[in-house]
A and B are shown apart, each in its own frame.
Chain A
């Protein structure tokens, strides 16, 4: 069985400050890792994903995440946040190489203020 842990349920941060949202996972098989973002009353949008290759992956809006196999982590970072980044962020994992479900963490609410 797989599991995903997002230890921080809420992260308040001032605009233009850096932020890190933590994600740890557990799995007995190789996995793909994902970060999704959910704005209020919306569905989930894929932010970035790790499948293979370079352990550092980036999104088009300045977020990045690094896959650390030894620490089973996939933390999400952004060097300077904007008010518009306020949203719920979900880390997710699935079996690599198969058509299978996503297992989600409980989410981290990022609240950016002036």
Chain B
């Protein structure tokens, strides 16, 4: 049973380009969460999705950032027109479809570097 898979592990983008980060949750998991970790900081919540629905996007920047979790395929975090301040590690976590969701399983992260 593979864990949460994120790709790519490392991504380099020039300022103004688009970054697409992918997350395949664990088998049977229908809840996906995205977090961002800036250097020397903890993880900050960005968005919580279930299949085809955004449940909580209170942590998403208002512009340039979007997320989706389609019926088929991985969840995608998309950053348009990247800037240097977007450089960070982006982590995805998944959990099973239970009401209480007592545990979230994390992927290895995608480290985005904007040059």
Partner of A98, one of B35, B93, B100, B104: B100
Is B99's CB under 8 angstroms from A99's CB? yes
In whole angstroms, what is the CA distance A89 to B103 when docked? 17
Cα distance A103–B58 when bound, in Å?
Answer: 12
Question: B101's contact among A45, A46, A100, A104, by CB below 8 Å, is which?
Answer: A100
Stretch in contact with the other chain, from B14-22, B78-86, B106-114:
B106-114
Docked pose: A46 CA to B35 CA in angstroms: 16
Task: Take A100-B48, A101-B33, A106-B41 as given contacts and tell me if A43 and B107 are in contact as well, using a CB distance cutoff of 8 Å.
Answer: yes
Tell me the interface secondary structure of chain A in the complex. Answer: loop
Q: Which among B95, B100, B103, B108 is the interface contact of A97 at CB below 8 angstroms?
A: B100
Task: Mark out the residues of chain B between 35 and 66 whose CB falls within 8 Å of any chain A CB in the assembled complex.
Answer: 35, 41-45, 48, 55-56, 59
**Contact pattern, A 10-37, Cβ under 8 Å of B = 1, otherwise 0:** 0000000000000000000000101010
Q: List residues of chain A with CB under 8 Å of any chain B CB.
A: 6, 32, 34, 36, 41-46, 49, 51, 90, 94, 96-107
With A99-B31, A100-B56, A101-B48 known, 15 other A-B pairs at CB within 8 A are A32-B102, A36-B106, A42-B109, A43-B109, A49-B102, A51-B102, A98-B99, A99-B55, A99-B95, A102-B33, A104-B35, A105-B42, A106-B41, A106-B42, A107-B41
